[in-house]
Amino acid sequence: MSRAFVKEPDGDQVINELPDRVHSPHVNYVTPAGLRQLQERLDGILARRKIISGAVSAENKKRLMLIDRDLRYYEERIRRAVLIDPAGQPEDEVHFGAVVDVETPEGRRMTFAVVGEDEADAAQGRISWVSPLALALALARPAVTVMGHGAKRIVVVLDSSASMKATDVSPSRFVRAQRGALDLVGGLGVGAEVMVIEAAVQPRVLAPFGHDREQTRAIHRMQREAQTLATLTGWNIVEIRKAMNIAALPTSDDRKWYQRLWTN
């Protein structure tokens, strides 16, 4: 039985303790700066508690309950913290703690730092390591790719989750991604091979490596199938990883291939 609510002798119902804040199910990886930030927040909470606990009032009692809840939360976050020093990470990979410079096809340049969940602040360019953007950056290893010249192998991965039905870009995120995939395939040079993978509840290969019309038909076919699939699926970073793992399975030769992911 919950003890969150108890009866005072005078019959008034008061809250003696608030439910704890929910913790993320992910490992609490932190950068050195992130760990300092957590400790600073904890120190600030302790300082506020010391000030408020000296004055007895009904209002301060409520404030103390909120402070104690935050105190328990940050003590646990620090206890769970796994410190990762970016200085010891490889420079040619997008990893936890990395600072990444990216450029959009339109020429816009942005800088992101991949950090822990508590340290993340999108407005400051700090993104959580479990965010979709961090995954996309991790998959886009630093490389220079020249499309349309010579024989290449391209893996096209299209996300068909429900969020891709959003119309914040016209006519929808999915249709925009589909057009991008078709433009890529249509612009490849002679001898290029394409594999098409759908990232859904069960990621699957819609068309194996090839250079005929089957790959283009597979991309077109996704538009019809996604209408049904989108009602059943939502964003799931695990499924995207599974789809990329499918693309990484060994093939009969060691030719280099490139992955291109379309997602929100």
pLDDT in tens, 134-159: 877 776 655 433 343 444 778 888 87
Helices of type H across 116-172: 132-139
Residue 52: exposure state from Cβ atoms within 10 A (0-12, 13-18, ≥19):
middle
The region, left, alpha or beta by phi > 0 then psi within -120 to 50, assigned to residue 127 is beta
Gyration radius of the chain's alpha carbons: 25
Per-residue model confidence (pLDDT) at position 40: 96
Low-confidence winner among 14-18, 35-39, 56-60, 184-188 (lowest mean pLDDT) = 14-18
- The number of residues in the chain equals 264
Per-residue model confidence (pLDDT) at position 225: 52
Q: What mean pLDDT is reported for the chain?
A: 75
The region, left, alpha or beta by phi > 0 then psi within -120 to 50, assigned to residue 205 is beta
Per-residue model confidence (pLDDT) at position 107: 80
Tell me which range, 3-12, 195-204, 234-243, is most confidently predicted by mean pLDDT.
Answer: 195-204
Low-confidence winner among 89-98, 171-180, 217-226 (lowest mean pLDDT) = 217-226
Q: What is the mean pLDDT of residues 5-10?
A: 45
Q: What is the mean pLDDT of residues 214-234?
A: 60
The answer, yes or no, to whether residue 262 has pLDDT greater than 90, is no
Quote the tokens at residue 250. Answer: 């060994």
Low-confidence winner among 84-98, 101-115, 130-144 (lowest mean pLDDT) = 130-144
Q: Pick the closest to residue 263 from 231, 227, 239 (CA basis).
A: 239
Cβ-contact 207, 221 below 8 angstroms: no
Residue, of 77 and 88, whose pLDDT is higher:
77
Cβ-contact 218, 156 below 8 angstroms: no
218-227 pLDDT per residue, tens:
888 775 554 4
Per-residue model confidence (pLDDT) at position 228: 43
